[in-house]
């Protein structure tokens, strides 16, 4: 680690010391999800996928076949694999959120959270890598700051369903040439090829039943072996109180107020609030501002 990462590690370690997360590699940590909540989350995510493509189109007896064929049957999947909450599945999205909130309560993370970047992503990664012609293929090691996320953010990643051994998230520590100036919006992940080549993979405990936390100054990306099947995971970004806003200034991030969710509202979803979307199958949401996200949602009272 260079001096910049050593400095960030102090703020990162301060935050996780007040939670149920435990660190294995620098600037990463994991939380073991209680078995009953992880099983509940798996079931609810599968129900969300069914609602997305039509229950009759989902092969309940063959999960891998269902996941492989999902992109041909569901119209609410983005080029990066996000299964977008729309009007016909927003109630199932709300149910998934409620269980995630229960998991977060168990992890004791709320006390160190300034705000949640919303919505989170239920993401399906198939067997084929994203096209190199795309500006932001998630197969390339990257930081969320490169698409406009806060310098004070961390990524939370939960592997859920499918081939979680051969199709998984990997994490890298940038090399000594890394500087704070790298943590800003880029026009393409391909801009950072030199930085990527100079990075070292970290040994993180990214297994089913664990929630992985990754500091935004590290790099992460989808890795598949040659025999990999499809998988589903959840990723969400959160801004922590422990990072000094005078040091890690957010003048370059693209977040807008509608994308920032307080603890109060986060933990009310599924209880007194729910997620709703006006969009149908063929509607495409192009946000006028903020971090680009394909979900057109709002919170309403139940």
Mean pLDDT confidence for 126-134: 72
Summarised one tens digit per residue, pLDDT across range 247-271 is 999 888 999 999 999 999 999 999 9
Record: fold of 3-301: Jelly Rolls (2.60.120)
Mean pLDDT confidence for 148-175: 96
Q: For the chain, what are the domain ranges? A: 3-301
What pTM was computed for the model? 0.95
Please give the backbone phi and psi of residue 180, each rounded to the nearest 5 degrees, phi first.
Answer: -60, -25
Summarised one tens digit per residue, pLDDT across range 175-229 is 888 888 999 999 999 998 888 888 999 999 899 999 999 999 999 999 999 999 9
Give the per-residue pLDDT at 177. 83
Band of residue 132 on the pLDDT scale cut at 50, 70, 90: low
Summarised one tens digit per residue, pLDDT across range 61-73 is 899 999 999 999 9
């Amino acid at each position: 680690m260079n001096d910049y990462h050593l400095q960030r590690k102090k703020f990162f370690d301060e935050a996780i010391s007040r939670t149920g997360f435990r660190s294995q590699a620098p600037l990463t940590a994991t939380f073991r999800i209680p078995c009953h909540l992880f099983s509940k989350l798996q079931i609810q995510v599968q129900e969300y996928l069914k609602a997305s493509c039509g229950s009759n189109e989902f092969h309940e007896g063959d999960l891998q076949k269902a996941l492989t064929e999902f992109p041909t049957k569901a119209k609410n999947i983005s080029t990066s694999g996000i299964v977008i909450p729309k009007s016909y599945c927003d109630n199932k999205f709300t149910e998934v959120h409620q269980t995630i909130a229960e998991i977060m309560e168990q992890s004791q993370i709320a006390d160190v959270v300034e705000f949640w970047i919303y919505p989170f992503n239920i993401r399906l990664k198939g067997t084929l890598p994203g096209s190199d012609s795309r500006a932001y293929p998630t197969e390339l090691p990257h930081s969320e700051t490169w698409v406009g996320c806060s310098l004070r953010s961390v990524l939370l990643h939960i592997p859920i369903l499918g081939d979680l051994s051969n199709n998984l998230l990997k994490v890298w520590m940038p090399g000594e040439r890394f500087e704070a100036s790298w943590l800003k919006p880029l026009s393409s992940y391909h801009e950072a090829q030199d930085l990527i080549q100079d990075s070292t993979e970290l040994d993180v405990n990214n297994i089913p039943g664990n929630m992985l936390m990754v500091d935004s100054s590290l790099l992460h990306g989808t890795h598949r072996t040659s025999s990999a099947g499809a998988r589903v995971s959840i990723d969400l970004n959160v801004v922590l109180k422990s990072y000094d806003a005078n040091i890690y200034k957010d003048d370059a991030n693209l977040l807008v107020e509608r994308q920032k969710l307080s603890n109060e509202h986060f933990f009310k979803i599924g209880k007194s609030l729910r997620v709703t979307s006006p969009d149908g199958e063929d509607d495409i949401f192009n946000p006028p501002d903020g971090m680009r996200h394909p979900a057109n949602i709002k919170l309403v009272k139940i």
